[in-house]
Structure 1
Amino acid sequence: MWTVQDAKNKFSAVVDAALSGKPQEVTRRGKPAVVILSANEYRRLLAAAVQSRESFANHLMAFPTSDIPRAQAGPRDVSF
């Protein structure tokens, strides 16, 4: 784990470590801020996320329709 200042000062070492397959965590003010990983690992994670995602149409079709009661509201009286 690196602090932001250390990561800036030793950026080449951070990149080399990420390229070797070890994602590098960087903290800011003692709290986790970012993770630096290789481009290949990023693409792998992105492809896995896209493959596991269902289509929006399937998501809408899976919405329960008969279980939801409809409101029985009528028009309101309007007088001028």
Structure 2
Amino acid sequence: MTSWQLQEAKNKLSELIDRTLSEGPQIITRHGVEVAVVMPFAQYKKLTAPPQPLGDFFLASPLRHSELNLERNSSTQLRQLEL
């Protein structure tokens, strides 16, 4: 990632945005300290999207209609733990 001093980022905002879109996230620094990141909006949306519910994940699985046996073992036997 490329770093930009805050003053340079303010003066060259259009270039900063263009480089963000072509190269990816850009870091903004203030007094040598990284303080912000500019990133493409689509990437931001992906990072902040709520997680997919587990049920939806399984429903969308390409294995959903396969012949995998996903039944639980109904055995009442308990495993013994060794301490």
Q: TM-score normalised to the size of structure 2?
A: 0.56
Output aligned runs, 1:1-80, within 5 Å.
1-47=3-49, 50-51=50-51
Structure 1 position 51, deviation (Å): 0.6
- Gaps of at least 5 residues in structure 1 are 54-80
3-state SS in 2 of match to 1:41: helix
Tell me if structure 2 keeps the 8 A contact 1:21–1:37. no
Length, aligned pairs only: 52
Structure 1 position 17, deviation (Å): 1.1
Among the aligned pairs, what percent are the same residue?
Answer: 37
Query: In 1, distance between residues paired with 2:41 and 2:31?
Result: 26
- Gaps of at least 5 residues in structure 2 are 54-83
Structure 1 position 18, deviation (Å): 1.2
Tell me if structure 2 keeps the 8 A contact 1:21–1:38. no
Query: In 1, distance between residues paired with 2:15 and 2:23?
Result: 13
3-state SS in 1 of match to 2:51: helix
Q: TM-score normalised to the size of structure 1?
A: 0.58
